[in-house]
């Protein structure tokens, strides 16, 4: 019913030759993808086409950008539009990563615009949400994440929300080596699904893939992915090492 997804987020790492080397290793090494599972690589803009060429022979690997502009086109120096991504056949884009919210001050309404512009180009957003440590410490994470979803996604139609992809990434677990426990992940994922169900109904909520992100690695992926509402992961650091990421892919539950 919904896809199980291993998504890599390379962030601002690797030179062109390193990126191509990693892509080539994945193109030959990613062989265990079952129907209903999907592998997505979130690649820096300058390497999208290079990596696309490297993985072209592997039907199981799809590419994602890590961001797109909140404007359609025009005089916005340094920006990359969803239309540009579509024109080079990129099917996914990460939107609202906490690093973009925090360092580049992206707002809920800008993210809503980015989601719309991506969908208008048939690009599926991987929409990120998640709370900072001080919110978790006051046990108000459910309300915090609910607001992120409502303000950036709840204008979408039922058809647009069907098969959507959301990544829950508690900020205190990103790049820190500290993972949410699998129970903490399950609790939030179930909450997200229930928030979606309250607006879109159960069938649509059940079709949405909710990925966990934050220090996922080969050693903890099986345990985290085993939870019923965790449909795979968005992986930063560990996705830069081919063997680690391949092992994470092999930890996905069977697709349904």
Nearest-approach distance from CB 8 to ligand PGA, in angstroms = 9
For residue 9, list its beta bridge partners: 42
Residue of 99, 106, 131, 169 with catalytic role: 169
155 in catalytic set: no
For residues 94-125, one letter each, b for 16 or more C-beta atoms within 10 angstroms of the residue's C-beta and e for the rest, the string is bbbbbbbbeeeebeeebbbbbbbbbbebebbb
Of 59-67, 75-83, 184-192, 211-219, which part binds ligand PGA (CB under 6 A)? 211-219
Enumerate the H helices of the chain as residue ranges: 16-29, 48-55, 82-87, 98-103, 108-120, 133-137, 141-153, 158-161, 182-200, 202-207, 218-225, 242-249
Alpha carbons 234 and 8: distance in angstroms, whole number: 6
* The one among 214, 221, 232, 249 contacting ligand PGA by CB under 6 A: 214
* Minimum CB–partner distance for residue 203 and ligand PGA (Å): 28
Question: Contacting ligand PGA (CB under 6 A), which of 52, 215, 247, 251?
Answer: 215
Told to check if 96 binds ligand PGA by CB under 6 A, we report no
Whether 97 is catalytic is: yes
Does 236 bind ligand PGA (CB under 6 A)? Our answer is yes
What's the min distance (Å) between Cβ of 18 and ligand PGA? Answer: 17
Cα(110)–Cα(95) distance, rounded to whole angstroms?
A: 10
Residue from 95, 211, 216, 242 binding ligand PGA (CB under 6 A)? 216
List residues near ligand PGA by CB under 6 A: 9, 169, 174-175, 213-216, 234-238
Residues carrying an active site annotation: 97, 169
């Amino acid at each position: 019913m919904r896809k199980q997804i291993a998504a890599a987020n390379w962030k601002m790492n690797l030179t062109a030759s390193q990126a191509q080397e990693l892509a080539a290793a994945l193109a030959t090494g990613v062989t265990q993808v079952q129907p209903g599972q999907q592998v997505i690589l979130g690649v820096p803009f300058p390497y999208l086409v290079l990596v696309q060429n490297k993985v072209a022979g592997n039907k199981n690997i799809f590419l994602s950008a890590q961001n797109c502009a909140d404007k359609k086109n025009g005089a916005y120096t340094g920006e990359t539009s969803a239309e540009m991504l579509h024109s080079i056949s990129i099917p996914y884009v990460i939107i609202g990563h906490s690093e973009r919210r925090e360092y580049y001050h992206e707002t809920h309404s800008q993210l809503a615009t980015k989601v719309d512009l991506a969908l208008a180009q048939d690009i599926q957003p991987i929409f990120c949400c998640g709370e900072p440590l001080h919110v978790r410490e006051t046990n108000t994470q459910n309300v915090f994440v609910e607001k992120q979803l409502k303000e950036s996604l709840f204008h979408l139609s039922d058809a647009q929300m069907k098969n959507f992809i959301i990544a829950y990434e508690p900020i205190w677990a990103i790049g820190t080596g500290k993972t949410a426990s699998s129970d903490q992940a399950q609790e939030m994922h179930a909450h997200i699904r229930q928030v979606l169900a309250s607006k879109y109904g159960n069938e649509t909520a059940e079709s949405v893939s909710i990925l966990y992100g934050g220090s996922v690695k080969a050693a903890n992926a099986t345990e985290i992915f085993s939870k019923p509402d965790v449909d795979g992961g968005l992986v930063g650091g560990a996705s830069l090492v081919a063997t680690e990421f391949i092992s994470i892919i092999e930890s996905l539950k069977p697709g349904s």
